[in-house]
Amino acid sequence: MTSPTLLLRPITGSFGDSLKGSFTRTVLSGLIGGLRFLFNHVPSLVTPASLRAEWEGLSSRTRAFLLLVKLSKQPHSTDVEHVRERTEAIVNLVVSKNAYSVSQLEVNGVPTEIITAVVTGPTPPGAVVWLHGGGYMAGRAHHYRGIGADLSARLGGVPIVIPDYRLVPEADFLPESVGDCIKVFEWATARYGASNLALIGDSAGGGMTVHVINALRRTPQYFPAGVVMLSPYLNLHPNYPSMETNKSLDVMLDAPSISFVCSLVLKSPTPIPPPTYEEFPPALVLVGSHELLLDDSKEIAENIAKDGGDVELIIQKGMCHVYPVFFAWLDESEQAMHFIANWIRAKVGWKKQL
């Protein structure tokens, strides 16, 4: 492992640090309030016919948010820059109520951010490395400041390390995109110790965690104490049943967009071997029951269990893709983040349960 070069620049942030994002969230909050009234008084008027039975039992707040996500869903695009802009708009909806600081580093050429919530009291030793989502071609580390701040606060101020890995199609997926994540994770291991680390990823970042663990198999002493995957997007040949059965239920993704992402990754020059799961670290997988990619999560969990691993799979009724990150809007997401934080604490050995 080579020594990292560090360029450290502190930044501070808090709720509503983005004016544009704050305006969007204010409008969304107002729309959700109006829709909640309609769901409570005339639900048949605002509930899509295909989702009436599926949304039964969900709160009016949850149904309002899911409906707005569905209504804002845009047609499939093969314009990479347009997809990146759309991804940023979605992530702008995620905000933490906690004050936090940001340290910007360069780790062996990989731009990296460390998000640390401002808390009182002692901070547990260690860190969490978060691999961001975005279909392998979108998303940036700074988009995840609100998410990182929220998890950091739940863990008592533990730093959240987010590599700004290179994206396809510009990057060769395995040596560059995955390679960047490995460099940052190895640096975090040297700094905090593997037993004091958890690895988490959402969507493509969830798939990336599997590739990182496979690469670390040569040096299992670098394995983290636990791995969390939120709606992992791993299988690049997604022909499983949920792609059909959830076609009318997924409010966020569509099959053409998923196929487009797969084609971009598969064009990378370096072949991508199928993952293996022997001696996989303890894992937690969370996914929504309405996701096109539901079976991807189920397949990962089944493979870990089949090879003797410790894995817990949570399929949340009625939820959308990467639902835990929408903790500012959904009760189910708030509960999921609470569970994730306690799961990480238990695996890493940080005593306090929230």
pTM reported for the whole predicted model: 0.89
Calculate the CA 24 to chain-centre distance. 21
pLDDT for 52: 76
Kindly provide the b/e burial profile for residues 261-287, where b requires at least 16 CB atoms within 10 angstroms of the residue's own CB.
Answer: bbebbeebeeeeeeeebeebbbbbbbb
For residue 195, the number of C-alpha atoms closer than 13 Å in the C-beta half-sphere is 2
- 72: how many CB neighbours lie within 10 A of its CB? 13
Q: Coil, strand or helix: which one is 252?
A: coil
Specify if 329 maps to a domain.
yes
Instruction: Provide the number of structural domains found in the chain.
Output: 1
Range of the domain at 178: 9-17+81-348
Q: What is the CATH number of the domain that holds 326?
A: 3.40.50.1820
Q: Is 20 a residue whose pLDDT tops 70?
A: no
Specify if 269 maps to a domain.
yes
pLDDT for 350: 86
pLDDT for 133: 96
Give the mean model confidence (pLDDT) for residues 82-94: 83
Specify if 218 maps to a domain.
yes
Average pLDDT, the chain: 88
Q: Is 204 a residue whose pLDDT tops 90?
A: yes
pLDDT tens-place string over residues 30-79 = 776 666 656 665 666 667 777 777 888 888 888 888 888 888 787 888 88
Q: Is 183 a residue whose pLDDT tops 60?
A: yes
